[in-house]
Amino acid sequence: MPDTAIQSPAAPLTVLSDDELLFRQNVRQFAGEKVRPLAREMDEKGVFDKSLIDHFFQLGLMGIEIPEQFGGAGGKFFEAILAVEELSRADASAGVVVDVQNTLVNNALLRWGIAEQKKRYLPRMASETVGSYALSEAASGSDAFALQTRADLHGSDYFLNGRKLWITNAKEAGIFVLFATVNASAGYKGITAFIVEKNTPGFTVGKKEDKLGIRASSTCELILEDCHVPKENVLGEVGKGYKIAIETLNEGRIGIGAQMVGVAQGSWEYAAKYAQERKQFGKALTEFQGVQFQIAQMATEIEAARLMVYNAARLKDASMPFVKEAAMAKLFASQVAERVTSLAIEIYGGVGFTKDFPVEKYWRDSKIGKIYEGTSNMQLATIAKLVMGK
């Protein structure tokens, strides 16, 4: 589908600078030319095309905020959000690969890594190595700090034992920001973040989950059996991993909001174009007021979600409070994505329910937005706490 086929509810020009507009256009062009043609095949096979990851690195999309001295683009968080949105417009799996790399892993290394860690890992993250963020376990989903993976210090090494579940990018990743407890009796105050490399003895990537949506994105189990991690690979302070987890996820939620905006946008474009072409009772679907109103409502909600996401990202870049805005953006964008993609299928009618047309994939991809990096109920709990002052 040509990107210029219909009038798209894109962000107002006043929202973006000239440099940001150019950046967005470049990512959009790349996504249309390289990502979209592979989206269906990757979804069916459940495998992300390695050539795309190579392109991500070549374009600087995997190290957007990493300073130029470490080989990164030296950009802003807002640019990472634009990249996630535009990639997700073509394929949500592509969006989440770049999202986890930038908003979670790189972010954690930049904010809490010591000089030696930054020098060692950031050039790799910018040029060749995919990152993954390993927090969740079987017994710790929304209750993230109920994790049971242990880290016991013996001499100069920590020995990690446990299992992580639902870890995004696990199959492709070479570096993991992984959370374990050094003292289970201390509760969340025992949680510590570690930098773990894939080739570390005792570390194994387990089975890949067979998912409803974002199927090309790898979601795997991690198995740690006396996994040797040197003390110098502790990220931040021992026992302060909970702070890293909370603060990185706050920023990561803006990225998921951007992913959902992209998903909604992509499905809207297909549905609006199809409605122009499909004829019933002798006229195009767009000549029926009921369909016009559906398309207009979808476009309005997408624009509202986009501006909420952009606002949260701008606040983060300005070092202003943004936790409430991030939670609201993720909550609303995920709701919009689910509604818009569902309506897109209905506009297509029966063929929209088949895999011969792209809208059913957008709908499947949208569902995860209400679940990962904090469920909708967790976002509501955060919002309620902040708006009520409790």
Stretch 338-343: mean pLDDT: 98
Show Cβ contacts of residue 200 under 8 Å, excluding neighbours closer than 6 positions.
227, 228, 229
User: What's at 257, amino acid-wise?
Assistant: G
- The pLDDT score that the predictor gives to residue 193 is 98
Stretch 170-191: mean pLDDT: 96
Residue 5 has pLDDT above 50, yes or no: no
Confidence category of residue 6, pLDDT binned at 50, 70, 90: low
Pick the catalytic residue: 269, 301, 360, 373? 373
CA dist., res. 232 & res. 119, Å (int): 13
Confidence category of residue 144, pLDDT binned at 50, 70, 90: confident
Count CA within 13 A, CB hemisphere, residue 216. 25
Task: Reply yes or no on whether 373 is catalytic.
Answer: yes
Residue 7 has pLDDT above 80, yes or no: no
Please check whether residue 75 is in contact with residue 64, taking contact to mean a CB–CB distance below 8 angstroms: yes
Could you tell me whether strands 191-197 and 130-134 are parallel, antiparallel, or unpaired per DSSP bridges? unpaired
Q: Which of 94, 12, 29, 104 is nearest to 64 (CA)?
A: 104
- The pLDDT score that the predictor gives to residue 23 is 98
- The pLDDT score that the predictor gives to residue 51 is 98
Q: For each of the domains in the chain, give its residue range(s) and CATH number, in order of start.
A: 13-130 (1.10.540.10), 132-240 (2.40.110.10), 243-388 (1.20.140.10)
| 311 or 9, greater pLDDT | 311
Residue 10 has pLDDT above 80, yes or no: no
Give 212-245 pLDDT, tens digit per residue.
999 999 999 999 999 999 999 999 999 999 999 9
Q: Which of 4, 46, 82, 6 is nearest to 268 (CA)?
A: 6
- The pLDDT score that the predictor gives to residue 12 is 47
State what percent of residues in the chain have pLDDT above 70: 96
Q: Can you list the pairs that 26-34 forms with residues at least 24 positions away whose Cβ atoms lie under 8 Å?
A: 26/59, 27/59, 27/61, 27/82, 27/83, 27/86, 27/87, 28/3, 28/86, 28/89, 30/55, 30/59, 31/86, 31/87, 31/89, 31/90, 31/91, 31/94, 32/3, 32/90
Residue 14 has pLDDT above 60, yes or no: no
CA-based radius of gyration for the chain: 21
Could you tell me whether strands 203-208 and 191-197 are parallel, antiparallel, or unpaired per DSSP bridges? unpaired
- The pLDDT score that the predictor gives to residue 9 is 52
Stretch 41-63: mean pLDDT: 98
In the structure encoding, which two tokens stand for residue 216, read together?
């090309």
Q: Can you list the pairs that 357-360 forms with residues at least 24 positions away whose Cβ atoms lie under 8 Å?
A: 357/270, 357/274, 358/39, 358/40, 358/266, 358/267, 358/270, 359/267, 359/270, 359/271
Give 341-365 pLDDT, tens digit per residue.
999 999 999 999 999 999 999 999 9
Give me the chain's average pLDDT, please.
95
Confidence category of residue 158, pLDDT binned at 50, 70, 90: very high
- With tokens 């880290």, the residue in question is 151
CA dist., res. 42 & res. 55, Å (int): 16
164 burial via Cβ count (<10 Å: 0-12, 13-18, 19+)? buried
Stretch 57-80: mean pLDDT: 98
- The pLDDT score that the predictor gives to residue 13 is 44
